[in-house]
Structure 1
Amino acid sequence: MLLKLKCTVNNYAWGAKGEASMAGSLALDGGHIPNLDKDKPYAEFWVGTHANGPAHVIENDIALKQLLATSPNLQGKHENGKLSFLFKVLSVVAPLSIQIHPTKEQGKILHAKDPKNYPDDNHKPEIAIALTEFELLSGFRQHSQISEYLKLYSEIQELLTEEEKGQIDNLGSYGESSSQVLKQIFSRIWRTPKEQLQIVVDKLARRIQGQGTQDMIELCPFTLLVSENKSALDEIIVYLFTMYPGDVGVFAPIFLNYFKLQPGEATFLEPNMPHAYLKGDCVECMADSDNTIRAGLTPKYIDVESLVEMLNYNETLLPKYIPNELEDGSLLFTPRGIEEFWVQEVKGPAGLIYQLPYSESCSVLTVLYGTATVTVGTTSQTLNRGEVLFIEATHSTERPKVNITDDFLAFRAFTPSPRALDSLSSKHLVID
């Protein structure tokens, strides 16, 4: 069974507006929305069954969640009558909040305690794959680097106790003690009352704005240069300050890795890994959850206490994810330890006939550009930009065929079978 889906768009303030939004233009081209408002942000295009943005079958307007619950033959036994993942396209023009996502156990606790702000009891590991150059903060820097930055941007030390100031040098030590010191310092800063924070944030940002940065560059060997006499870190701090003056999140680049993903590159965000997207377009796939713990750079609900206690304070040296390259040249993103989703890139020039693998799982195929006809047995559907196709589990029958008629890029998201998950530890990867 091949079914086209009608999906939803979220209009968060950080999204690109009108035709400038890839998420919005995909939704328009795929028939998911009737028009684009040039003054309205289109932040996220959702493909899934989550209650906050459920997909429907176009043919009969039945909710996909309802169809799966009543037609178990469309899926594998391991899928339990639902989609365990949520697939998105994001168009970011303003910073997202400093945030983490909980583990399964933490998700249950948060939902039971505060169902309004934590709408489900699931975890939310996620992978982001860049469609354009994509800027983000993710994971803690090397602790020795954070130590240098706390000295370089010394205004922050006004928020610390004398004992904590004396611990800054210990951030360069190895082992668990360094993470404990970082937790103490980070927690102190993030728990500072708003009025006191605003004074120090303003003081730091205005000093950076009011002086050249060459002296600072020479003092700090870790600074990443984007031009001869400006540091990337200074620019990001000032940028965040202009967007959120007085906000504690302005300090985030001092603690978190800043990097850029080029189109096709990816990063995997484990539970409790701090991150904030800054700019660009990407696709995301995650466990079917909308649980986000925020603490800065947002007008939304923030939960500093949960964030500082749950954070993973370990160093993250290279937060980029390397996918598997399959025999046919396509890429398969298989984050280890995650049962809910894998993502396959389906890409090729006009004239290519591509065969998807047999699958014990259903899948959804989202078209980013181009045209192709998908065929299973005697059933076919022609897909264009922005359209989304549900493909039932094919088990050991005929493999779905993708006949590309115009240069094509799509992503296929699915829940891997137990056999596929087991194959990650062998040399023979199973894709179903």
Structure 2
Amino acid sequence: MKFLAIFSILSLQIDCQMLYKLQCPVNNYAWGAKGESSMAAILALAGNHISHIDPNKTYAEFWVGTHQNGPARVIELGKSLEEAIRENRELVGEKESEKLTFLFKVLSVAGPLSIQIHPTKAQGKILHSKDPKNYPDDNHKPEIAIALTEFELLSGFRQHSQISDFLKLYSEIQELLSDEDRVQIDNLGSFGESSSKALKIIFSRIWRSEKSKLGVVVEKLANRLAGQEIKSQLDELIVYLASLYPGDVGVFAPIFLNHFKLQPGEATFLEPNMPHAYLKGDCVECMSCSDNTIRAGLTPKYIDVESLVEMLNYSETLLPKYIPNELADHTKLFTPKGIDEFWVQEVKGSTGAKFDLPFAESASVLTVLSGSANVTSAETRKPETIKKGEVLFISASRCGKNQPKIEISEDFWAFRAFQPSSSAISNFQN
């Protein structure tokens, strides 16, 4: 992975709490938005993370974290953030390690990402031990995506009865099934586990199809739909994907997966083994510190069909939208159930507003999307001013339970990511 910048830190030492401005890495995946159409690029430029925006280059992801594929570095010390934390444990909470347990990103998506799932912790360990090249760490990768603009995606299996209808409507796909497999189409939508078992049989057969036969069927379906005078939204999506990835099994993904749009501020939580693919738009994303991805199509990268079909959750998902919690000061807190690696707080307000940054016993990172503000706490000697595109690292507080505070000097929008302590989880859930 090539980054335009590596991670710079300008520090201000205070009595018990440290504030650092961070310069974050940006990558250039092909699916990213090009030039100034990329929010990730605009933020990177505004925060002096990059020196200019190349109109012919894609800017896909703006990273904040200590993952090995994009490690933060402390320029002043000539060492990584991980090393700095290891040498100064006061930066993080008592139960935190030298690595951040989360990875925070701003994504600008112009073309489809691969159809993919992420493993559980147990599965991540097995995959990494068997194939460390394609699975670079042994962790799981639950993630939450929060839309910044209208954000289009595929996520989770549709209602099984609807998949049954679509397999009949797009009947070309049945050419990839055996006679016994076709019988299972009518079992989709039945009660109990039989429906999920039927879906696994059908899905596995299609995804295991020979490439030559698969290519013929994809082309046949895409050509028929392209020739129709009136097309549904699903027809249009299948034709679009086939134009980008001719002959790719991922072209069939919209037949099986929920296709929907998140409006700005709406979110989705992607559990382990939930199939998904981002299609278009800008979002912030927070996940456990992992890069383990099992791909199922729409990509030139490694596709692991056998792991995919065995690990997928074949249950109906409906629309997997996540509803955040609203705190007393009207900031939003995203606390995915069962996840202790990260929480995300959205801070948004007008000039003069003041907000708390709770759960200060853990270190956190604050990424500013617009506006400016001063960050301070009872432990600071003076506030730290932050503005659009800047990222602030706030170390854990060890001198009490005082919460850092934000005072907005210009209409402000930012996201804070942190690892909740066990007491924070307990107090919040109770």
Q: CA deviation at 1:355?
A: 2.5
Q: CA deviation at 1:63?
A: 1.6
Q: Which residue of 2 aligns with 1:296?
A: 297
> Of the candidates 46, 65, 68, which is equivalent to residue 63 of structure 2?
46
1:70-100 per-position Cα deviation (integer Å, ceiling 9, x unaligned): 2111211221232100000000000000000
Q: Which runs of 4+ in 1 moved over 3 A?
A: 57-62
Q: Which residue of 2 aligns with 1:414?
A: 418
TM-score w.r.t. length of structure 2: 0.93
Q: Which residue of 2 aligns with 1:113?
A: 130
Distance in 1 (alpha carbons) for counterparts of 2:287 and 2:28: 19
> Of the candidates 375, 379, 383, which is equivalent to residue 380 of structure 1?
383
Distance in 1 (alpha carbons) for counterparts of 2:368 and 2:195: 45
Q: Does residue 370 in structure 1 map to residue 374 in structure 2?
A: no
Distance in 2 (alpha carbons) for counterparts of 1:328 and 1:59: 36
Q: Does residue 186 in structure 1 map to residue 187 in structure 2?
A: no
Q: CA deviation at 1:358?
A: 4.7
Aligned residues of 1:97 and 1:298 also touching (Cα < 8 A): yes
Q: Which residue of 1 aligns with 2:259?
A: 258
> Of the candidates 403, 407, 424, which is equivalent to residue 407 of structure 2?
403
Aligned residues of 1:355 and 1:400 also touching (Cα < 8 A): yes
Q: Which residue of 2 aligns with 1:12?
A: 29
Counting only pairs closer than 5 Å after superposition, residues 284-363 of structure 1 correspond to structure 2 as 284-363=285-364
Aligned residues of 2:164 and 2:185 also touching (Cα < 8 A): yes
* 1:120 to 1:3, Cα distance in 2 relative to 1, 3 A: same
Distance in 2 (alpha carbons) for counterparts of 1:58 and 1:334: 33
Q: CA deviation at 1:348?
A: 0.7
Structure 1, unmatched stretches of 5+, are 214-229, 427-432
Structure 2, unmatched stretches of 5+, are 1-17
The 10-residue stretch of structure 1 (80-89 or 408-417) with the greater mean CA deviation from structure 2 = 80-89
Aligned to 1:167, the other structure's residue is in SS state: helix
1:254-280 per-position Cα deviation (integer Å, ceiling 9, x unaligned): 000000000000000000000000000
* 1:278 to 1:85, Cα distance in 2 relative to 1, 3 A: same
Aligned residues of 2:366 and 2:416 also touching (Cα < 8 A): yes
The 10-residue stretch of structure 1 (373-382 or 334-343) with the greater mean CA deviation from structure 2 = 373-382
Aligned residues of 2:360 and 2:402 also touching (Cα < 8 A): no
Counting only pairs closer than 5 Å after superposition, residues 113-262 of structure 1 correspond to structure 2 as 113-213=130-230, 230-262=231-263
The 10-residue stretch of structure 1 (265-274 or 230-239) with the greater mean CA deviation from structure 2 = 230-239
Identity %: 71
1:278-329 per-position Cα deviation (integer Å, ceiling 9, x unaligned): 0000000000001111010001111111111110000002300000011110
Distance in 1 (alpha carbons) for counterparts of 2:78 and 2:44: 17
Aligned residues of 1:126 and 1:268 also touching (Cα < 8 A): yes
The CA RMSD measured in Å over matched residues stands at 1.2
Distance in 2 (alpha carbons) for counterparts of 1:61 and 1:31: 19
Distance in 2 (alpha carbons) for counterparts of 1:300 and 1:378: 50
Aligned residues of 2:116 and 2:296 also touching (Cα < 8 A): yes
Distance in 2 (alpha carbons) for counterparts of 1:286 and 1:301: 21
1:343-395 per-position Cα deviation (integer Å, ceiling 9, x unaligned): 00011111112232251100000001111111232143211111100001124
Distance in 2 (alpha carbons) for counterparts of 1:195 and 1:353: 61
Aligned to 1:91, the other structure's residue is in SS state: strand
Number of paired residues? 410
Distance in 2 (alpha carbons) for counterparts of 1:148 and 1:3: 55
* 1:367 to 1:23, Cα distance in 2 relative to 1, 3 A: same
* 1:44 to 1:301, Cα distance in 2 relative to 1, 3 A: same
